[in-house]
Chain A
């Protein structure tokens, strides 16, 4: 009898360990799915730009920076009033994300901007009979303006992180399949090696409950602390975008946690009913 007891205890320990691994896998799966839907999705950031005032505010910021440049280069404020087109800014940004996520380029293409800027300059020079110092100084001005345009539209640190993001994007679908597969395998092992099925459900319930806490604590801490909104980002438009994107990422994570919670509660009740039935029989 004591040998059987010790065997049962060892089995319990093994099942608990399996449940722990399943809990870790559920957590990794939730994070992977969240990343796949958000940061690794080329349309995620662009969709968030559309749902905030990003392009409106960004246009104002770029225009103000260009006006400051104009103060040093003989251009009046009026020159910049109709220079920037939000539709063109959107198109340039869309192309930037498309090329970024396919690994082609990590910078904004300023060809169109330079063309528009040069055309506006030609008209301004003609209308105002302005002297140009040299082609060199005009080219330098256009180059500086294009630099402001591109660095304003590019996402900070994206260029530096491109290798990691692209690598993660390539392996993430595989990782999701592997995590899901491992969870299924462990579930089947727990169920089929356990003669009492309600106990098998108990261990799976432990796993999902643990994962609920592990996954849910992240958005809970972030939202309660309000730390997201306390980031120091110089650009107001980028700040709004960052907050929106971060909120959406953590909401998705919270949603994963809720799904795990519902699963845990469901498994708990099923387990309880099966156990009561056994006790009454």
Chain B
């Protein structure tokens, strides 16, 4: 009976909010995540930051959803763990991580996958990584590239048609996954099943 009541209440709330305003706007929980994403990671004296365009994409996406304080704190905890891992790795930059460290970096991304139900696709022709919300909407696009000095840059801010960039290895994807996805830059609403 308890479960059924919860479902009924959820249905009522959904119906009630359906006719009211959109979810646009950044709430304090989302702002906290954005602030955390904008802080740098110190790797052996070098400051690594997430490209501005990625954080902007997160902000744009947050304008279409409403994140709770609980969800925000979970995501921030993962971001902090990921940053702490990078800072204590002993590497000068992401390219210098050992194979085991790279696997661990990817594992952070997978933790977030488990939490926030996202999926990805990669287009070989355009070298574009796309991340989807559970409802199929595109939440994030990027052509992440690892530069020679280990920085991550987005290589498709200015378009051509048909793609023009090199994609340097799974490391770039993993590190974007940790610093961006693992950091909860794109928060995707949990499935109804988990909320009910």
**A adjacent to B, CB under 8 Å:** yes
Residues of A bordering B, CB below 8 Å: 65-66, 68-72, 144-145, 147-148, 151-152, 154, 156, 232-235
Please state if B123 and A232 are interface contacts (CB–CB under 8 Å).
Answer: no
Q: Within the complex, what minimum Cβ distance (angstroms) separates B106 from chain A?
A: 15
Closest to A154 in B: B124
B124, A65: Cβ atoms under 8 Å?
A: no
In the complex, are the beta carbons of B161 and A69 less than 8 A apart?
yes
Is B162 on the interface with A (CB-CB < 8 A)?
Answer: yes
B125 and A151 within 8 A (CB): yes
Q: Which chain B residues in 78-124 approach chain A with CB under 8 Å?
A: 119-124
Q: A71-B161, A147-B162, A156-B122 are in contact. List 19 more A-B contacts (CB 8 A).
A: A65-B125, A65-B162, A69-B162, A72-B160, A144-B160, A145-B162, A148-B125, A148-B162, A148-B163, A151-B124, A151-B125, A232-B119, A232-B130, A234-B122, A234-B123, A234-B124, A234-B128, A235-B123, A235-B124
Chain B nearest CB from A150 CB (Å) reads 9
Give the distance in Å from the alpha carbon of A70 to the alpha carbon of B162 in the complex: 10
- B132 touching A147, Cβ below 8 Å: no
Q: List 25 A-B contacts (CB under 8 A).
A: A65-B162, A68-B161, A68-B162, A69-B160, A69-B162, A70-B161, A144-B162, A144-B164, A147-B163, A148-B125, A148-B162, A148-B163, A151-B124, A151-B163, A152-B124, A152-B125, A233-B121, A234-B121, A234-B122, A234-B123, A234-B125, A234-B128, A234-B130, A235-B123, A235-B124
A145 cross-chain contacts in B, Cβ below 8 A: 162
Which 5 pairs from chain A and chain B are nearest by CB? A232-B121, A234-B123, A68-B161, A69-B162, A72-B161
How many B residues are at the interface, by size bracket? 10 to 19
Task: Give the docked Cα–Cα distance between A156 and B129 (Å).
Answer: 13
Interface centre among A65, A71, A234, by most chain B C-beta atoms within 10 angstroms, is A234
Residues of B within 8 A of A154 (CB): 124
| B120–chain A nearest beta-carbon distance, Å | 6
Complex: how many Å from CA A150 to CA B123?
A: 13
Shortest distance between the CB of B132 and any CB in chain A (Å): 7
Residues of A within 8 A of B120 (CB): 232
0 or 1 for each of B161-173: is its CB under 8 Å from A? (1 = yes): 1111000000000
Cβ distance B110 to chain A, nearest Cβ, rounded Å = 16
Instruction: Please give, as numbers and ranges, the residues of chain A lying within 8 Å of B132 by CB-CB distance.
Output: 232
Interfacial chain B residues near A233, Cβ < 8 Å = 121
Cβ of B85 to closest chain A Cβ, rounded Å: 25
Tell me the bound Cα distance from A234 to B130 in angstroms: 9
A188 CB to closest chain B CB (Å) equals 44
Q: Give the residues in chain B near A234, CB-CB below 8 Å.
A: 121-125, 128, 130
Minimum CB–CB distance for B63 against chain A, Å: 24
A58 to B56, CA, bound (A): 34
Hey, which chain B residues are within 8 Å of A151, CB to CB?
124-125, 163
Residue of B nearest to A152 (CB): B125
Most chain-A CB neighbours within 10 Å: which of B119, B125, B160?
B125
The distance in angstroms between the C-alpha atoms of A66 and B163, with both chains bound, is 11
In the bound assembly, the distance between CA atoms of A236 and B47 in angstroms comes to: 41
Q: Which residues of B contact A148 (CB under 8 A)?
A: 125, 162-163
A144–B160 CA distance with the chains assembled, in angstroms:
10
Contacts of B124 in A (CB 8 A): 151-152, 154, 156, 234-235
Contacts of A144 in B (CB 8 A): 160, 162, 164
Chain A proximity of B155: nearest CB distance (Å): 15
Distance in angstroms between the alpha carbons of A158 and B162 in the assembled complex:
21
Nearest Cβ on chain B to A156's Cβ, whole angstroms = 5
For the complex, give the distance between the alpha carbons of A151 and B126 in Å. Answer: 9
Chain A positions within 8 Å of B164 at CB level: 144
Smallest beta-carbon distance A231→chain B, Å: 8
Alpha-carbon gap, A151 to B165, bound state (A): 12
**Interface 1/0 per residue, B135-166 and A, CB below 8 Å:** 00000000000000000000000001111100
A151 to B39 CA separation, bound complex (whole angstroms): 37
Interface digits, B160-188 against A, CB 8 Å rule (1 contact, 0 not)?
11111000000000000000000000000
Collect the chain A residues with CB atoms within 8 Å of residue B125's CB: 65, 148, 151-152, 234-235
